[in-house]
Amino acid sequence: MESMERTFDRHVGEAWIERVSAAGDRARERDELAVEEPLEIRVDGKPLAVTMRTPGEDEELAAGFLAGEGLVAKPSDIAAVGPTDDFAANTVEVTTASGLTRDPSAERSFYLSSSCGVCGKGALEHVRQSADRSQRGEPIAPETILAAPDRARGAQEAFDRTGGLHATALFGPDGELIVLREDVGRHNAMDKAIGSRLLAGAFPLPGIYACVSGRTSFELVQKASLAGLAGVVGVGAPSTLAVDLAREQGMLLCGFVRGGSFNVYAGSERIRA
């Protein structure tokens, strides 16, 4: 088969494939695939993390990653973010106003795959120490929760073409879609969505809910908690550690949001009667 070809769309590439039917018929076709490439995140001239991501919104990804790890706390902590000036491919540089809020070098190195982010005991303890409990806000209606996955899915343009991207959408308590971001990594999609608000000067995010396209893992609740989100709803199941953290932080956590019903794992008091 011919080698992979890239299109001008940074999110989507193409490849020749063979489509095989149950009857054994074969046909050569072009297929669109989600792009996956490494990104190095540098902070104040020093490498911090390498993540496998879908290119695009790299500045948002870097900013959201720092926020999701508790390395910045407010928009003014970031002085600038953009591609490096040494023409290094797939590298983004963050310049801070006065350094990171803590030194991550003694805790763990950041090498992330597209399938999972940073997790484990060190991350859990850091969330417990650094994140305030989620602020109480306006309750959310059950019908708003039920509508969120379909509204998010309707905005997934790259998924429509490839079928291979996760998404995180941020909603207001009234169901307003604030932002949606897609990526091959579910944690990257969350970082991009949060980073877009951070770079817009809107951070933290009390009263805002995240809707995720798959399962809800600890890493997603961790990032949501450090961003001050009110909760996370997902079309899949949460993990035990995700439920524990959501309950500790006073967040709403819903799963299996589909088919006219959903499960509430934490924060039932946040749902309007």
Does 250 fall in a domain? Answer: yes
- Whether 58 and 30 map to the same domain: the answer is no
What are 100's two structure tokens? 């990171």
DSSP string, 120-178: SHHHHHHHHHHPPPPPP---B-HHHHHHHHHHHHHT-HHHHHHS--EEEEEE-TT--EE
- Supply the CATH number for residue 110's domain: 3.10.20.10
**How many domains in the chain?**
3
| Cα four-point dihedral sign 134, 140, 142, 147 | negative
Distance CA 77, CA 215 (A): 31
For 211-222, b/e burial (b = at least 16 CB within 10 A) is bbbebbbbbbbb
- Whether 88 and 206 map to the same domain: the answer is no
The residue from 77, 99, 130 where one domain ends is: 130
Active site residues: 116
Q: Within 10 A of 52 (CB to CB), how many other CB atoms are there? A: 17
- Whether 147 and 158 map to the same domain: the answer is yes
- Whether 126 and 191 map to the same domain: the answer is no
8 Å CB contact between 245 and 125: no
The residue from 80, 95, 130 where one domain ends is: 130
- Whether 147 and 124 map to the same domain: the answer is no
- Whether 74 and 149 map to the same domain: the answer is no
Residue type (1 letter), 53: R
Q: Within 10 A of 115 (CB to CB), how many other CB atoms are there? A: 11
- Whether 25 and 48 map to the same domain: the answer is no
Which range marks the domain in which residue 240 is found?
A: 142-270
- Whether 162 and 261 map to the same domain: the answer is yes
pTM above 0.75, yes or no: yes
Q: Within 10 A of 113 (CB to CB), how many other CB atoms are there? A: 13
Rg over alpha carbons for the chain, rounded to the nearest Å, is 19
Report the Cα 195 to chain-centroid distance in Å: 9
- Whether 10 and 46 map to the same domain: the answer is no
Provide the residue-wise pLDDT of the chain in tens; the chain has 273 residues.
Answer: 444 444 446 778 888 888 887 888 888 898 888 888 889 999 999 999 988 899 999 999 999 999 998 899 999 999 999 988 765 568 999 999 999 988 776 555 554 544 554 444 555 566 665 778 888 888 999 999 999 999 999 988 888 788 878 999 999 999 999 999 999 999 999 999 999 999 999 999 999 999 999 899 998 999 999 999 999 999 999 999 899 999 999 999 999 999 899 999 999 999 998
- Supply the CATH number for residue 259's domain: 3.40.140.10
Q: Tell me the backbone φ, ψ of residue 11, rounded to 5 degrees.
A: -80, -25
The residue from 104, 130, 156 where one domain ends is: 130
- Whether 123 and 154 map to the same domain: the answer is no
